[in-house]
């Protein structure tokens, strides 16, 4: 009986330890940690401050991953609390969305977790979009949810060409318009907010129009 209880205890401990890791591959986890430390040497540790934020081991690994590979400006212009809030919303989709646990770890890291899509100003759209879209796609499989998000984006933003800097997702909603790069940034942000991997695709030149395009 004691052996059975000990075995169960060790199993629970192992599973708990596994669940705490955002990056399950120990070799890649070490690579990320090395990249994070290198980034800290460049920007200074004052730009990474988790004091009072009650960061879990899983969240800390996610933060280190983001800081290791995000643009320097995103690390210095936005506080750690901002990035942590968005991480928590992203991690929430793993349990609240039907497809959450089916999204491969690599795709989640690169195409759900990051807020950055293009050169848009970062905003608080993730939590806002999650609240609205999680109800709208409730009960739908991922494929249908993607289509529903696309319909939602079409309802909110209409195409209008411009040469201005890419607007943030919330700014696109406020104005109700955007060029191709802004519409695709808006859609990617919406999909990521409910845990669906997405990224922008860009071509610097259309041969038949001598112009660029993003989708």
- pLDDT tens figures, 129-154: 999 999 999 999 999 999 999 999 99
Residues 6+ apart with CB under 8 A from 100: 93, 94, 195
Give the CATH number of domain 119-215; options: 3.30.1550.10, 3.10.620.30, 3.90.180.10, 2.60.120.40: 3.10.620.30
Picking from 139, 133, 135, 122, the residue whose alpha carbon sits closest to that of residue 156 is 133
Residue pointed to by tokens 């996610």: 62
Extents of the domains making up the chain: 119-215
For the whole model, what pTM was predicted? 0.86
Say what the pLDDT of residue 13 is. Answer: 42
Count CA within 13 A, CB hemisphere, residue 99. 23
């Amino acid at each position: 009986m004691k052996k059975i209880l000990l075995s169960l205890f060790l199993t629970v401990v192992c599973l708990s330890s596994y669940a705490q890791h955002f990056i399950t591959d120990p070799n890649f986890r070490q690579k990320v940690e090395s990249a994070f430390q290198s980034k800290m040497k460049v920007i200074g540790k004052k730009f990474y401050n988790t004091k009072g934020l009650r960061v879990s081991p899983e969240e800390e690994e996610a933060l280190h991953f983001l800081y290791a590979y995000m643009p320097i400006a995103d690390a210095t212009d936005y506080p750690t609390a901002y990035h942590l809030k968005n991480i928590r919303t992203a991690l929430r989709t793993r349990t609240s969305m039907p497809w959450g646990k089916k999204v491969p770890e690599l795709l989640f890291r690169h195409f759900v977790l990051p807020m950055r899509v293009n050169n848009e100003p970062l905003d608080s759209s993730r939590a806002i979009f999650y609240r609205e879209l999680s109800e709208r796609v409730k009960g739908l499989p991922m494929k249908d949810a993607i289509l529903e998000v696309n319909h939602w984006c079409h309802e909110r933003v209409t195409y209008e060409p411009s040469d201005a800097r890419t607007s943030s997702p919330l700014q696109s909603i406020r104005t109700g318009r955007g060029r191709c790069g802004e519409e695709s940034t808006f859609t990617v942000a919406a999909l990521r907010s409910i845990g669906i991997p997405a990224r922008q695709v860009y071509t610097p030149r259309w041969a038949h129009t001598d112009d660029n395009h993003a989708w």
